[in-house]
Amino acid sequence: MFIDEISCQEKQELISDGAQLIDVRTPIEYHSGALGEAINIPLQSLRHQAEKLDQNQPILVYCRTGRRSGMAKMILLEMGFTKVLDIGGVMRYAGCA
């Protein structure tokens, strides 16, 4: 699985332009520290909650290390989403303004 390398600035620009930031960790992990703009859709619930996502806007997925976000990207692509970026682990962006 390959992480889509984007900078903090690129992440913020995408979100400002309407991208959706999805934390695919468990609710407990999410509540222990998530990126500010993120919504929590745990990996195991992704197929059932995908209707919450706008297929016309980019989707940025992340988790703790990048493993679950890679799986989330594959699931969303299989479901017909085309603008999906796996930005990896939460710690990469924890210091972003």
pLDDT per position as a tens digit, 13-22:
999 999 999 9
> What are 61's two structure tokens?
């997925």
Domain count within the chain: 1
Residue 49 or residue 92, greater confidence = 49
Domain limits for position 64: 12-92
- 40 band by pLDDT with thresholds 50, 70 and 90: very high
In a domain? residue 97: no
CATH of the domain at 50: 3.40.250.10
Q: Which of 14, 63, 72, 84 is catalytic?
A: 63
In a domain? residue 23: yes
Q: Is 63 a catalytic residue?
A: yes
pLDDT per residue as tens digits for the range 60-85? 999 999 999 999 999 999 999 999 99
CA distance 13 to 66: 21
- 2 band by pLDDT with thresholds 50, 70 and 90: confident
